[in-house]
């Protein structure tokens, strides 16, 4: 008998994690055809075994004529059978099928092995009288160890984890699975997941080794293609790829299962557009350095111009055929365009269909085509036949319709949202996602939702108090909140927040309320260790603050989950008269409240706090409250300060007689009359009693002036200086300052006032 071709999987003194294939396959005789002696022996012995139904231990495996077939089967069974006690039945089943097909098992294809193994243990027993139970897993393991099959996905009902343990050994597989479970639990996943363990086992079987480090990117990619049809496996694939990345294996970024037919959408989007125009639009999309989101939006609007061109000027198919006249015609078409015009899909437009597009949409359409032509000319794709900046300029009539329109949330609604965010509890959290196989009710009882409560509290407070964009919130990094000494104070400290690079500028630091810093600190204390992730805006590998289960929260999480949850807790609708309550409306609300506060921030201070590049942008976020406007208007004292009227008496008799040496104009001061002709410019209007031009009303001269029949009464506006206003309003110090200043100023009659 030939010695078994078995090699140790753990050589003495070697690392326990190293594993080698337990069988030396090349040492076996792998001829496909059966010899004449093998055929006769199999036919005789198997026939006698079936007829006498003797014990399987009397099978023909002991005969020397069959040792070429029996030896590799015995070697494989020695590795996997253990306490199953089905080795003899497995040997009989394989030899019986060799006799039926008249070839050795080395030549069976996948279909042949499926015929032997069946779709389940029950089907195996029903089709093979020699099977009684437990043979199916052993048969698959023998086939795998003999390298007759390497694709276990063709077997239905296969327990991959059990097979991996049979092939690689329970200790090896358990050590590998422990690495995976320890890693995912550290990231925040709840306990071991059976389906994830099955996926790991399948990866190990596909690779033929039990170590994670031995996996290759090609094997992982093949597994991903195999699992893409399963929703649960597609979700778990993300966990697995993160673990593999942490182990040093470079794999493709996981993709969420997508049921959208993107090829159909792409074909429908470019239908009825000149192919030359589509090619240049795609070329521009591949060349432009704008962000991915901006490129997608611009590409859609450039294709819309292509549909208009195909409809109105089918003879024009390329960008270099556009003229100044055609550009002007397109600007006019955009100005008269309606919702639903020149789009490939009108579903979902609802009541908006057929209505004129907004001024902002017109500006965006013209801006996209302007950018497209400017770039095409700059990159020398087309000749410079006209200036796109002028040809596609937004009309003044459209620009005039666009201005600051902050959509601040009403104070009463905002106060309720603040209360909801500050009082968030477990019962408020929603289960909007979970790992396949988790007990949803157990999760709700233990944590209240998908994300931990501390994370949701910190996220809510950051949104309600910091005035950040949603992109800035989800891209905050660990350690972003800290205390710093307050300028000009002794020992007083202020919380500061580091804001990452944003769409209009570089990173900056802003002051925040203590409640924000404390909430962030509370979350960082319980935050599970997370792997670094790529910040697509900066290209850096960073530790995101709001990351859980090895994944940063999505950009749209605030609008889709957090804000509706806060609205439900606050008992307010998710939309008001100005539209949906979104993450960006909080930014406008906070800016408006800071600008209208009792001690308000100036526009430039608010610009720095919001991170705007220009104060013009800040004006789009600030809304004056009616109460602030009313108070400012009242304090301005418009009528009292700027419309002070004084009664003037004009003596027509003196004017007619042309008596130059006599006064002809008198200003009624209430307590007397002033005959100085230029009273409105006199510096002593507040101290007239000692001036020679002053005529007291108690005097006879004043009575004579008032009794003249030719006297004309009229009103004249007399502007007052700030000091005079203060004096009128009763400020004694202002009166003293005014009198002190007038001591050195001569009166209209040329005399200096004497000190009292």
At 661, list the tokens.
Answer: 């040496």
pLDDT value, residue 1: 37
Q: Tell me what the mean pLDDT of segment 343-348 comes to.
A: 81
Spatial contact of 406 and 620, defined as CB atoms under 8 Å apart: yes
pLDDT value, residue 5: 55
pLDDT band at 611 (very low <50, low <70, confident <90, very high): confident
pLDDT of 716 above 60: yes
* Rounded-to-integer distance, Cα 182 and Cα 179, Å: 5
pLDDT value, residue 380: 93
Report the percentage of the chain scoring pLDDT > 70. Answer: 75
pLDDT of 635 above 70: no
pLDDT band at 547 (very low <50, low <70, confident <90, very high): very high
pLDDT value, residue 108: 86
Using CB atoms within 10 Å of the CB of residue 614, give its burial: 0 to 12 exposed, 13 to 18 middle, 19+ buried. Answer: exposed
Q: Tell me what the mean pLDDT of segment 347-366 comes to.
A: 88
Q: Tell me what the mean pLDDT of segment 565-591 comes to.
A: 89
| pTM: predicted TM-score of the whole model, two decimal places | 0.64
- In the chain, where are the structural domains located? 25-158, 168-246, 262-399, 411-619, 639-742
**Tens of pLDDT, residues 23-67:** 888 888 888 888 888 888 888 877 766 555 444 444 555 677 888
The sign of the dihedral angle between the CA atoms of 162, 163, 166, 170 is: negative
Radius of gyration of the chain (CA): 44
Q: Dump the DSSP string for 625-694.
A: -HHHHHHHHHHHTHHHHH--EEEEEEEHHHHHHT-TTS--EEEE-SSEEE--TTGGG-TTTT--TTSTTE
Fold of 411-619: hpI Integrase; Chain A (1.10.443)
């Amino acid at each position: 008998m030939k010695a078994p071709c078995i090699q140790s999987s753990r050589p003495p003194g070697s690392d326990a994690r190293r594993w080698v294939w337990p069988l030396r396959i090349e040492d076996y005789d792998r001829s496909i055809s059966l010899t004449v002696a093998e055929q006769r022996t199999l036919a005789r012995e198997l026939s006698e075994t079936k007829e006498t139904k003797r014990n399987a231990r009397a099978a023909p495996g002991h005969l020397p004529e069959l040792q070429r077939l029996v030896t590799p089967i015995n070697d494989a069974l020695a590795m996997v059978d253990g306490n199953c006690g089905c080795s003899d039945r497995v040997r009989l089943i394989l030899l019986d099928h060799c006799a039926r097909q008249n070839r050795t098992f080395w030549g069976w294809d996948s279909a042949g092995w499926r015929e032997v193994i069946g779709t389940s243990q029950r089907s195996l027993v029903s089709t093979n009288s020699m099977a009684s139970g437990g043979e199916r897993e052993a048969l698959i393991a023998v086939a795998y160890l003999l390298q007759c099959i390497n694709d276990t996905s063709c077997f239905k009902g296969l327990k991959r984890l059990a097979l991996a343990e049979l092939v690689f050994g329970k200790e090896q597989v358990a050590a590998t699975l422990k690495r995976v479970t320890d890693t995912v639990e550290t990231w925040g996943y709840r306990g071991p997941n059976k389906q994830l363990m099955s996926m790991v086992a399948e990866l190990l079987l596909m690779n033929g080794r039990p170590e994670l480090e031995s996996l290759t990117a090609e094997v992982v990619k093949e597994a991903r293609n195999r699992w893409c049809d399963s929703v649960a496996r597609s979700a778990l694939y993300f966990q697995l790829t993160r673990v593999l990345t942490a182990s040093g294996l470079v794999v493709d970024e996981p993709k969420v299962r997508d049921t959208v037919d993107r090829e159909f959408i792409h074909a429908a989007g470019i239908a009825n557009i000149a192919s030359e125009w589509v090619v240049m639009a795609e070329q521009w999309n591949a060349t432009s350095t704008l962000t991915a989101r901006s490129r997608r939006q611009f590409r859609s609007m450039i294709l819309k111009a292509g549909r208009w061109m195909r409809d109105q000027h089918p003879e024009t198919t390329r960008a270099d055929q556009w003229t100044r006249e055609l550009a002007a015609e397109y600007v006019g078409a955009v100005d008269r365009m309606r919702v639903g015009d020149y789009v490939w899909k009108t579903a979902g437009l609802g009541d908006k269909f057929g209505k004129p597009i907004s001024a902002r949409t017109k500006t965006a359409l013209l801006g996209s085509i302007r950018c497209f032509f400017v770039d095409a000319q700059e990159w020398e794709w087309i000749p410079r036949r006209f200036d796109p900046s002028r040809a596609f300029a937004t009309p003044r009539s459209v620009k005039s319709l666009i201005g600051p329109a902050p959509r601040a949330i009403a104070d009463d609604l905002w106060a309720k949202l603040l209360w909801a965010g500050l009082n968030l509890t477990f019962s408020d959290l929603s289960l909007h996602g979970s790992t396949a196989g988790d007990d949803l009710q157990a999760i709700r009882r233990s944590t209240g939702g998908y994300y931990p409560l501390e994370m949701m509290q910190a996220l809510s407070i950051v949104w309600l108090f910091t005035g950040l964009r949603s992109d800035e919130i989800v891209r905050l990094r660990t350690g972003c909140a800290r205390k710093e000494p307050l300028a000009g104070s002794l020992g007083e400290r202020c919380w500061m927040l580091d804001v990452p690079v944003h769409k209009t500028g570089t990173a900056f630091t802003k002051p925040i309320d203590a409640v924000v810093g404390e909430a962030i600190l509370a979350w960082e204390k319980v935050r599970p260790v997370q792997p670094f992730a790529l910040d697509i805006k900066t290209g850096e590998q960073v530790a995101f603050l709001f990351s859980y289960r090895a994944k940063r929260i999505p950009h749209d999480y605030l609008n889709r989950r957090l804000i509706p949850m806060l609205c439900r807790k606050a008992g307010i609708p998710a939309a008001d008269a100005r539209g949906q309550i979104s993450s960006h409306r909080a930014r406008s609300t906070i800016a408006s409240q800071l600008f209208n506060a009792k001690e308000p921030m100036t526009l430039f201070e608010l610009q720095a706090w919001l991170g705007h590049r220009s104060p013009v942008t800040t004006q789009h976020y600030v809304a004056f409250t009616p109460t602030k406007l009313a108070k400012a208007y009242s304090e301005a004292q418009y009528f009292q300060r700027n419309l002070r009227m004084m009664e003037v008496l004009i003596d027509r008799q003196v004017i007619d007689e042309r008596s130059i040496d006599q006064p002809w104009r008198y200003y009624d001061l209430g307590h007397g009359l002033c005959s100085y002709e230029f009273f409105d410019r006199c510096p002593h209007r507040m101290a007239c009693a000692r001036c020679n031009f002053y005529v007291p009303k108690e005097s006879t001269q004043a009575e004579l002036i008032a009794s003249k029949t030719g006297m004309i009464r009229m009103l004249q506006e007399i502007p007052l200086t700030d000091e005079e206003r203060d004096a009128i309003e009763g400020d004694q110090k202002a009166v003293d300052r005014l009198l002190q200043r007038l001591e050195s100023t001569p009166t209209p009659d040329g005399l200096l006032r004497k000190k009292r």
